[in-house]
Amino acid sequence: MEAKPDAQPAADDVLLDALNSVPLEEEVGKSVSFSELFKFAKGYDFALLMLGIVAAMGVGMALPIFSLLFGELVEEGNSLNTDSIGDRVGDLGEWMFIAGGLVFAAGFIMSACFSLSSDNQVHRIKTAYFDAILRQESAWFDLHKTGSITSRLHGNTEIIKQGLSERASFFFYHLFTIIASFSISFVKCWRLTLVLLAMAPLTGLSAVAMFYALTAMGKKNSAAYANAGAIAEEVLSSVRTVHSLSAHRRFEGAYHAEIDGACAASRFAGFVSGAGIGSAFFCMFCTYALGLWYSSFLVDWELSTISEVLTAFIAVLFASVSFGQIIPPITSFAQAQQAAHSIFRVIDREPRVEQGTRKLPELKANIRFNRVTFRYPTRMHRPVIREFSLEIPAGETVAFVGLSGCGKSSLVSLIQRFYEPAAGYFGVRGPGGSFVPLPYEANAVLLEKLRMGGGGAGCPQTVDVTLPISLAATCSKTMAVRLAGTGALSRTVQGSDGPIRWDGGKWYWIERRAAKPGLSACCGPKGSATKSNSDPFAEFEEEPAGDLEFAFPDRVSALLSEAETAGRPFVEVDLAFGRYKIDMYKRTRTNVEQPVEYQKNGAITVDGERLGSLDIGWWRDNIGMVTQEPVLFSGTVFDNIRMGRKEATREEVVEACEQAHIHSVIERWPDAYETKVGEGGCQLSGGQKQRIAIARAIIKRPKILILDEATSALDRESEVKVQKALQSIMNSDNGKVTTIVIAHRLQTVMHADRIVVMQPPSSENDDEGGKIVETGRHAELLANEGYYAKLWNSQNRTTDSRADDASGEAVQSAAADLEAPVQTKTADELEEEQKKQMEEKIKNKTSFLRIARLAAPWNSWLVPGIAGALLTGAVYPVFALVFSEALDILGSMNYKVTDRSDIDKYAVYMLFVAVGAWFGHVLLNGGFGYVGTQLTCRIRKMLFSHYLSQDVAFFDAPGHETGELTTVLSGKAQVIHGLFGLNIGMLLRVLVALGLGFTMAFVRSWRVTLMVLTAVPVLIVTGWLSVAIAASGFGSKGSSTSVVARESIANVKTVVSLNTQADAVASFAAASSAALKKQYRNAFAYALTFGMGQFAIFAVFGIGFLYGGKLISDGTDDFSSIQAAVIQVVMASLGIGEAAGMQASAANAKEAAAVVFETLDTKPSLDQMSERGRSDGVTRGVVEFSDVTFAYPARPNVDVLKRFSLKIAPAGGRQGTQIGLIGSTGSGKSTTLQLLERLYSLSQCGSGSVTVDGIDIAELSLGYWRSMVGVVSQEPVLFDMSVLENVRLGKPNATLEEVIEACELAHIADDITRLPQGYNTKVGARGSMLSGGQKQRVAIARAVVKKPKFLLLDEATSALDNASERLVQRALDHVIETQSMTTITVAHKLTTIENADVITVLDRGVIIEQGSHEQLMKIESGDYKDRYLLYHSL
């Protein structure tokens, strides 16, 4: 949908903005070098690797050496003199046991060394990556999604671990097998070896083709899963907002679309891998066929003996098997190198904020801004602060006031050094001659080169700065900025020349390059490939084939049409990444080199020193900060407060809480200061969170105190008390604290030493914003009767007199017993009890049949899979049969007993085996792989939908933090693939191989076969031990680190402002170290089972030859039968070993399935996605709470509402009414609204009823009820999508006109039109690209657009300046009058509710007063009257 003309961004806004508004992600397919993969290995890790490699050499050389002994044995066994053959066979059996013991020791050392080394390295990589993330500047986070960062932290490091541990050990194991095998084969029979090697290139080509095909599929698959993970994290962390908007289907559809995309990219990957593996086996068996045929010539012509031929043949056989086994490790190396690139790139990246080294001996905190201009990295074209100069003297309190968007919070961010005012800006001249800076990364690199002397006047060197850019998410380009030695700069876009096309009034950019995923830029793609044809910045859902067409922006298209009409041959246009000369006759475009200019910027100084030169950690230690949206972390109240100063004692913590007016509240909680606050402080009210944040700032004893709407969530009484506490800090014993205050309520700043009034840009003149309008003390500014006086008068207007038309007197009641009952169990005990109950349930939740039922829709694909399993299962037994028979013939030929032509038919049989192996692997991997992929996708979608259906009580429970849920959603859902899918086919293949192999062995020599079977239990035992080891270590992988990482990264600004990065990293490292110790134990246990498995293979040979030698000596069996039986058993035993190798993934899958099914079986007390219930009956909108008692499920013994009764009915015959709820923090105001939203179920968490027009709201359909309820919360949540999409969450089918109307009502429309793409501008994660006030007004627009019957405002205007608040309030009043809307407002600002029809005063869950403003003001010593007088006191 196109925006109105007046809502379109200006041409200058379009230039370069699309590139600036998206992250500069790493180029797809980039890898680190193999040696760089080990950059985090220490000396003892390399020692372990060396020892592991030596051990791998021992394991790898064992079988090739066996080929030497076996070749000589076969020749002797087929000789005409067989008197001593029994003893020779027995001797070989003894050597097999000795070799088995040595291989057991070597295998144990190999596996343990590689596992320990990889665990150590990955532990360091994770810690270093997490540390590097927290080091980055805020601009970096603006350009990267939090979800993708955390997914790399766990997903990419797991890939690296796989590449460095078991897969790496197998690589060296098979490498030495190949080297030893070929060495022996060349020595024994070089002719046969060369012939056999002729097929090697075909095998290699098939492996390479499979690798590239799977890599391409994997890239698409990974990208889609990463997007799905980002959606899941954003939605689950903001689930209350999702519920209140009934936006479940919208996000469910988005998540399902990404999962379907991943599924589409990988569903046929099994057929590709099957074709690759099948080709390798086809080539291998064809090689054997060729070898048998050629060997007959060598023996017949007496060029080689049977011993030499057989030794070379078996050695090459071992080498070819190892060639097939070495491909997965090589693939893992490549994947690990790719995964490491994105990790190491962040680790190596130096933050663009200068770290500084100086620490002032005495910090006075005199702060000075000198002609500072600042631009956000995502909007480089628009300065937020322009030529700003101001001095903040040490010890003074300076307040910044002004409308939202004027730059107040940006100044605070600069002081805290979240952002760095660049030393200057490089840019080009856009349309109209305006200066447009280059992208953030380009500007930062050029500034670094400038500091180093590059590009300066007279400098001899030339520097190229190259950045990847892209067109509409698919076409990669490169922008090069050249700094020449003369100081001249220019910019070009490489590889961007090409054709254009005109079609139906629109002009299109034609791109003939191969499509690649990338970043959105200035042109929108044409056709159905886009998400929205009307959105010129939309990205592709799917990668289109052939030539690509991208529509030029409307302004450029109009310019081209005008030139076409005027007959001009050439025209120059500016796009988001460069200037182009358009040849109107040839219909071509040519990039034009543009001059690049440099504009120097001012600086910020502290006590005369440049701010950037000061040690950044020391500087932040001297700053105390409280924001309008306080952030708490999982843990106790005590832990959160002591984050302000780690060495603080409990007495100091209590003292800080008393000053912050929160101590008495904390003491009433059962666990007091040990109360768990929940993820993000979700267990506390907004006011409680903010006062704890204030206590955290107080205990820091800062030299500089920054209060960004610090008391916006407090009632007026608490606000006054906290202001007094803050005032005592400002005048501490150590001297006055330099205080910077940002506030919309001017009463809170009227005593400031200086008030700085700022003005945002207007819709008419963008250059007005970010500047000081006036400055002075409160009295001086009022006397000037300027901008500040207007703001003051608008806020402190006299309350309009209203007729007291409400019947009856005000209600006043006394609260009875308000003390919360003592909780019999602490929070830790309850949490531990719940975890134990969960673990007990999980034990009985795994069901293979249940998984099979989930996969039922794709059962038809099991048919080819089963056929493939039967074919591949028969391959080795049939091969063993053909091979043993061929050995007999070759042995007979050595003594001229048989003719050479007899071997030909067995070579043909081997070709049949090759064809069967190819078809078998294609069908096996393709059929079962398809089912497994579809099953995984289905489980992911089911889990996400199930999460969305849960009520808020589910997310409050321990173990249901966002990090834990997303881990289940991504990790455990994927792991289930190991219990169903290809593993089933592999198991069936093994069973077929065992059955057929042992049957054939029994036919040849049942005595030897029975004896050899005694070694099979060893293989089985090692397999089951692998299951136990994997099961013991799976459940806890990464859970603790996930919680620490997600909270720290999601709230990185709070972590940085508290300067607790080192503490967060230490917590992460401690959690990782705890997991590492368990991994050590598992590594040794797994190494033991691996060694036992290797020993069992040699034990099979040993038992067979020892007993077989005895049988030969006794004359019971001949050598040919013993040889054939042993070969059959060995080939079948390979299947047992392979099955044992699958046990680890099967155990992991079993644990994962238990967790997944436990989650799916958790029935919500109130299904949030249910459509059951009435969808009619609500007409007047009379709401009544009747005797409601309610306690949150996380604190069941603490009643928040107690026998609460309230009737909300339209007054004076109107359809709508206004209700105000006030009270101290924690009195139950927000709880009342949450019950109205039906976020909790009264039947589960309390008693009483809530009705509307006499109907219990529990009987109403959730969708129907919430369609009539609009909500704006105290901390509004916006999603990482455009402004238009965020507002439409309130009403999905809203037209653009309705959206604009809602935004105008919310007083945000002008701000939106100034954004780069207007209503199509992305707001960033949680609305990070907007100011607090802008976020809240967009949230108000989102609530208003649906024209609700009930509007719930929980401190909805707390972040607005007074002018905006007044306008929004007028708009809401108008909406209420014209749309029959009932408004229920929770507020601490009494100006927002004094005109309400009924004001209800709550205290500790009960109503103590009720009435209109006039009625309540008549109550002597009434709570409301005291609050009102206090609120308006000067």
What pLDDT is attached to residue 995? Answer: 85
Helix (H, G, I), strand (E, B) or coil at 492: strand
Q: Which DSSP string corresponds to 683-714?
A: TS-HHHHHHHHHHHHHTT--SEEEEESTTTTS
pLDDT band at 678 (very low <50, low <70, confident <90, very high): confident
What pLDDT is attached to residue 109? Answer: 92
Predicted confidence (pLDDT) at residue 960 exceeds the cutoff of 50: yes
What pLDDT is attached to residue 55? Answer: 92
Calculate ∠ Cα 672-677-678, nearest 5°.
145
Considering only residues 1256 and 1166, tell me which one the structure prediction assigns the higher pLDDT. 1256
Q: Is the Cβ–Cβ distance between 227 and 258 less than 8 Å?
A: yes
If you average pLDDT over every residue of the chain, what do you get? 75
Cα 58–chain centre separation: 42
Average of per-residue pLDDT across 712-716 = 61
Considering only residues 1298 and 152, tell me which one the structure prediction assigns the higher pLDDT. 1298
Helix (H, G, I), strand (E, B) or coil at 199: coil
- What is the per-residue pLDDT across 1072-1089, written as a single tens digit (0 to 9) for each? 888 888 888 888 888 888
Distances 673 to 527, 656, 666, 887, 1044 between C-alpha atoms, Å: 60, 12, 6, 81, 21
Predicted confidence (pLDDT) at residue 1178 exceeds the cutoff of 50: yes
pLDDT band at 720 (very low <50, low <70, confident <90, very high): low
Q: Which DSSP string corresponds to 408-472?
A: HHHHHHHHTTSS---SEEEEEE-GGG-EEEPPHHHHHHHHHHHHTTTT-TT----EEEEEEEEET
- What is the per-residue pLDDT across 1238-1296, written as a single tens digit (0 to 9) for each? 888 787 777 888 888 888 888 888 888 888 888 887 778 888 888 898 999 888 888 88
What pLDDT is attached to residue 978? Answer: 59
- What is the per-residue pLDDT across 467-522, written as a single tens digit (0 to 9) for each? 555 444 344 455 566 654 445 677 777 677 888 888 766 788 787 654 333 333 33
Average of per-residue pLDDT across 250-277 = 78
What pLDDT is attached to residue 176? Answer: 92
- What is the per-residue pLDDT across 626-676, written as a single tens digit (0 to 9) for each? 877 778 887 888 988 888 888 888 888 998 888 877 888 888 888 888 888
Considering only residues 20 and 611, tell me which one the structure prediction assigns the higher pLDDT. 611
Predicted confidence (pLDDT) at residue 1377 exceeds the cutoff of 70: no
pLDDT band at 54 (very low <50, low <70, confident <90, very high): very high
Give the span between the Cα atoms of 121 and 158, in whole angstroms.
Answer: 11
What pLDDT is attached to residue 974? Answer: 65
Distances 793 to 749, 782, 789, 790, 1368 between C-alpha atoms, Å: 15, 9, 6, 5, 17
Predicted confidence (pLDDT) at residue 163 exceeds the cutoff of 90: no
Average of per-residue pLDDT across 6-28 = 35
Average of per-residue pLDDT across 138-159 = 72
What pLDDT is attached to residue 1423? Answer: 81
Average of per-residue pLDDT across 1175-1203 = 81
What pLDDT is attached to residue 1420? Answer: 79
pLDDT band at 1386 (very low <50, low <70, confident <90, very high): confident
What pLDDT is attached to residue 535? Answer: 33
Considering only residues 1054 and 915, tell me which one the structure prediction assigns the higher pLDDT. 915
What pLDDT is attached to residue 861? Answer: 81
What pLDDT is attached to residue 480? Answer: 64
pLDDT band at 556 (very low <50, low <70, confident <90, very high): confident
What pLDDT is attached to residue 1305? Answer: 80
What pLDDT is attached to residue 932? Answer: 79
3-state secondary structure 528-570: CCECCCCCCCCCECCCCCCCEEEECCHHHHHHHHHHHHHCCCE
Considering only residues 996 and 19, tell me which one the structure prediction assigns the higher pLDDT. 996
Q: Around 518, how many Cα atoms within 13 Å sit in the side-chain half-sphere?
A: 21
Nearest to 412 by CA among 710, 197, 625: 625
Both tokens of 1308, joined, read 């945000």
What pLDDT is attached to residue 609? Answer: 87
What pLDDT is attached to residue 1039? Answer: 56
Give the span between the Cα atoms of 463 and 332, in whole angstroms.
Answer: 37
pLDDT band at 345 (very low <50, low <70, confident <90, very high): confident
What pLDDT is attached to residue 1147? Answer: 59
Q: Is the Cβ–Cβ distance between 1282 and 1322 less than 8 Å?
A: yes
Predicted confidence (pLDDT) at residue 1035 exceeds the cutoff of 50: no
Instruction: Give the least confident one: 5-14, 391-400, 690-699, 901-910.
Output: 5-14
User: 501-505, 736-740, 844-848: which has the highest mean pLDDT?
Assistant: 736-740
Predicted confidence (pLDDT) at residue 49 exceeds the cutoff of 80: yes
Both tokens of 125, joined, read 């990589």
Q: Is the Cβ–Cβ distance between 282 and 212 less than 8 Å?
A: no
- Alpha helix locations (H) across 1115-1225? 1119-1160
- What is the per-residue pLDDT across 1324-1336, written as a single tens digit (0 to 9) for each? 777 777 777 788 8
pLDDT band at 763 (very low <50, low <70, confident <90, very high): very low
Q: Which DSSP string corresponds to 72-130?
A: HHHHHHTSS--TTHHHHHHHHHHHHHHHHHHHHHHHHHHHHHHHHHHHHHHHHHHHHHH
